Amino acid sequence: MASRSTIMDNNSFRAEHAADLDPETRRLTERREELLGGSYRLFYRRPVHLVRGEGQYLWDAVGEKYLDMYNNVASIGHAHPAVAEAVHAQMQRLNTHTRYLHERILDYTDDLLSTLPAELEAGDYKAMFMCTGSEANDLALRVAKTHTGGTGFIATTEAYHGNSELSSSVSPALGTGQPIGENVWLLPAPDSYRTGIAEIGPWFAEKIRAAVTDMESRGVRFAGFIADSIFSSDGVLPGSYLGEAVDAVHAAGGVFIADEVQPGFARTGAQFWGFGAHGVVPDMITTGKPMGNGIPVAGLLARSEVLSSFSDTIPYFNTFGGNPVSMAAAQAVLDVIRREGLQQHAQEIGAEALARFQELGTAHSAVGDVRGAGLFIGFELVKDRQTREPDRDLALDMLEELRMRGVLTSVAGPHGNVLKLRPPLPFGRQDIDWAVGALDESLKALR
Amino acid sequence: MASRSTIMDNNSFRAEHAADLDPETRRLTERREELLGGSYRLFYRRPVHLVRGEGQYLWDAVGEKYLDMYNNVASIGHAHPAVAEAVHAQMQRLNTHTRYLHERILDYTDDLLSTLPAELEAGDYKAMFMCTGSEANDLALRVAKTHTGGTGFIATTEAYHGNSELSSSVSPALGTGQPIGENVWLLPAPDSYRTGIAEIGPWFAEKIRAAVTDMESRGVRFAGFIADSIFSSDGVLPGSYLGEAVDAVHAAGGVFIADEVQPGFARTGAQFWGFGAHGVVPDMITTGKPMGNGIPVAGLLARSEVLSSFSDTIPYFNTFGGNPVSMAAAQAVLDVIRREGLQQHAQEIGAEALARFQELGTAHSAVGDVRGAGLFIGFELVKDRQTREPDRDLALDMLEELRMRGVLTSVAGPHGNVLKLRPPLPFGRQDIDWAVGALDESLKALR
């Protein structure tokens, strides 16, 4: 099993930074300290106090403007009026639960299922709704266990799949304090750059097979493999390499759960779902963050026969899940993605941004690799291009430098050295200039 | 250990009822069948298709008006304009997460903590926010384990604490298909009526002590006791009897988790929180349903030293939890409770309703017991007042009769024979007349 880092603590305000804060920011951090549990983390040594958002831009309490290069919740743009109006209209009318009939959940489900691969037929997949990606993954893992009769899961060493007990048990990105399930096998992510292996698909499939063999030799029956198809927390690994691994999962009797909380909903441009790049059809698809543009809504789409193993015996009721207001928000998001052509936009502007970031990378020896799909880009910092030794300290300093230049982002990967560039989808050409300029200046300031 | 029923299936539409539906309702149930997972359940043999709500009233698609005697999500009234406007205003401005500073979560936490017993001091408790009561209970159970080093929990035989793997493991109300945790001991609820024991406090405390002894004799270390202080799913058991049990929990080194998802937020009238009636101070308090009037928001309030056992080692981030829009909804709810005097109203009108329901009960031999606190009333149906034999079939038929008379409710209790009367808090005097009339007519129609 690979070693584990404490990535979740990478970009965090800590008590020792308090002395450098302006009085207002210090007042707020002290109030948080007094009122909120210590598990809360703030981004940045000098935290940002946001008060307004619009599109890909954010403003803080003193009127400074920021370019959001990180948040995929407000995926169609901060404070999008279409979502605000849809929610307002529905809230004025009715907000209740799924034990009464309501048309919205049915219309939305129909629409959402239409985004699945065209070869699927009506009835092949069914939907369940909840409020967070954590809840979606918790349920998916439970369904996988019921369906297969197994308890063993495979995840990657920097995966993050949620905050419930079960979903956190497959979330090593939470750090070494977080217990990993005893029936969870962790594999290094399929990272071509870091392994130096070009044909990463067969390599990763072999890791899966070996993990299953090891698992079963220890008397643990295999239930499934859960992965975010762009491996966001593992460092952003776009590509088309999971087919053989998913075949291996199926050959071993397991299910493949595609955690689409990060890559889904048009972000990767070429496809609506992240798994589309791999040419695979997951047994279960979970989604959350970008689904309601900030209104808590999440979903599980599952093969009907997989889901029925669970639903035939166990009721599942999520009080707020699939309620008319959540569905109104979710429907508005889908409508906006289509109306504003955001998937095609993500593909075009993402390609342009990637090219510009790569061009910038060649000019700076600290940039080891720049890779992406649509508007999901990893920008990897190294001490040495030859050895590819990760430069975590530089990455953390870069976050602060970028923040000073109005660009908000964070880091990912087992070494915490990959800038995760994941802006709201309206990100435009003028923003590429802002981002490239800030990256260039920050690199120059630090190296 | 007590036996388990399948209460969650009690009030459910089933396929065999389809023949009796009007074409439009049948169309919707068929669409649900096709699109949604089979775990979804619909209330009523003839499901209700709701399209509008206001205050304590709901309207269906053909314009029929209903009196909501069941839903505590829209606790301050369906479609309350104060919540709709607060959410709309915040959605137009910003909706982001707790890794940036924002004043709303701090102001709301301050306000929420001020509802705790007056003897507590600032800093004694801290807050965490999530999106559902299930998430709040999942986290509370994890914190209890980390704090005590134990894994053993005590819950009651018809408890419902959530839908995640961990919270469902203490939720026998989900039915016999739901696995109960191997370290979970289930106790019969402190039900004076059903046991015939007037002094139920010492009886229940003794059950707790015996469970802990049994647990520890089997090598399981005690972590805590989780209960809804009015035992909603166990049949609605108001009173003031938990003090000795909570002392027993503490004496055994465990923590007491008060699941306030049902009794909290002014419903029981005399106190803001359900546990207040028992004169106890829980180590952890979880809340959800009534907190945002339908916007998904939930919280955990915990003794600072209990929470820090967890938060010192494990990060917890809930993407939507505590976001500015959720906090705006939650703040509006607290403001409305105070501005409209809903707690006092619940106490006064609840007492009046209880007296009228009790008076009605004396006139019908099928009514075994009517009990309540504020606007949370249990109406228990029996085959025989002497033997107190539960009449589940009558209770289920009553639901349908009441529905025909425009009164929406459901059942609770291990025998599924207790009508759970839990209307939105604006419930008024004219509604008592409607409810009493419908109960009277329904009882006459069936017996």
ipTM for this prediction: 0.96
Task: Give the pLDDT confidence of A344-397 residue by residue, as tens digits.
Answer: 999 999 999 999 999 999 999 999 999 999 999 999 999 999 999 999 999 999
CA distance B335 to B195: 41
What is the pLDDT, as a whole number, of residue B7?
A: 42
Q: What is the pLDDT of residue A10?
A: 74
**pLDDT score of A230 more than 80:** yes
Smallest CA–CA distance, residue A297 to chain B, in Å, is 9
The residue in chain B having the minimum alpha-carbon distance to the alpha carbon of residue A123 is B34
pLDDT tens column, A315-352? 999 999 999 999 999 999 999 999 999 999 999 999 99
Q: What is the pLDDT of residue B1?
A: 35
Closest CA to A321 of A80, A91, A135: A135
> Residue A441: pLDDT above 60?
yes
Give the count of beta carbons closer than 10 Å to the beta carbon of residue A14. 10
Angle at B446 between CA B444 and CA B447, to 5 degrees: 70
Of A78, A315, A320, Cβ closest to residue B174: A315
Task: Point out the residues of chain B with pLDDT beneath 70.
Answer: 1-9
- What is the chain A residue with the closest CA to B98? A42
- A1 pLDDT exceeds 80? no
| Minimum CA–CA partner of B43 in chain A | A99
What is the identity of the amino acid at A201?
G
Confidence check: pLDDT of A7 > 50: no
Nearest CB among A47, A100, A174 relative to B100 is that of: A47
* Residues of chain B neighbouring A43 (CB-CB closer than 8 A): 99-100
Query: DSSP code of A398?
Result: H
Does the distance separating the beta carbons of B96 and A78 come in below 8 Å? yes
Q: Do A96 and B293 touch (CB under 8 A)?
A: no
Band of the pLDDT at A19, cuts 50, 70, 90?
confident
Contact B96 A110 (CB under 8 A): no
CA distance A345 to chain B (A): 23
Asked whether the beta carbons of residue A34 and residue B314 sit closer than 8 angstroms, the reply is: no
B101 near A CB under 8 A: yes
Tokens describing residue A202 = 């067969």
Q: What is the structure's pLDDT at B447? A: 82
Minimal-distance CA residue of chain B relative to A55: B94
Of the two residues B39 and A207, the one the predictor is more confident about is A207
CA distance B193 to A220: 47
Collapsing DSSP to helix, strand or coil, B257 comes out as strand
Interface of A with B in 158-177 (CB under 8 A): 163-166, 168, 174-175, 177
* pLDDT at site A9: 57
Q: How many CB pairs under 8 A join A and B?
A: 335
Q: What is the nearest CA distance from A214 to chain B, expressed in angstroms?
A: 26
Q: CB count, 10 Å around CB of B184? A: 22
Q: Does the beta-carbon distance from B126 to A317 stay under 8 Å? A: no
Neighbour count for residue A295 (Cβ, 10 Å): 31
Domains of chain A, CATH where assigned: 7-79+341-446 (3.90.1150.10), 81-339 (3.40.640.10)
pLDDT digit string (tens) for A392-411?
999 999 999 999 999 999 99
Note whether B36 contacts A: Cβ–Cβ < 8 A: yes
Find, in chain A, the residue whose alpha carbon is nearest to that of B261.
A319
Residue of chain A whose Cα is closest to the Cα of B311: A39
Cβ distance of A308 and B34 shorter than 8 Å = no
Determine the residue of chain A that is closest to B304 in CA distance.
A37
- Predicted confidence at residue A129, as pLDDT, reads 98
pLDDT at A61 over 50: yes
Partner-chain contact A132 B131, CB within 8 Å = yes
pLDDT for position B122: 80
Preferred mutation among B27, B128, B261, B320 to probe A, highest tally of A CBs within 10 A: B320
Chain B residues 326-385 with CB within 8 Å of chain A: 326
pLDDT computed for residue B9 by the predictor = 57
Residues of chain B positioned with their CB less than 8 A from the CB of A135:
131-132, 134-135, 163-164
DSSP string, B103-156: HHHHHHHHHHHTTS-TT--TTSEEEEEESSHHHHHHHHHHHHHHHHS--EEEEE
pLDDT score of A39 more than 60: yes
Kindly state whether B21 is in contact with chain A, defined as any CB-CB distance less than 8 angstroms: no
Q: Is it the case that residue A185 has pLDDT exceeding 70?
A: yes
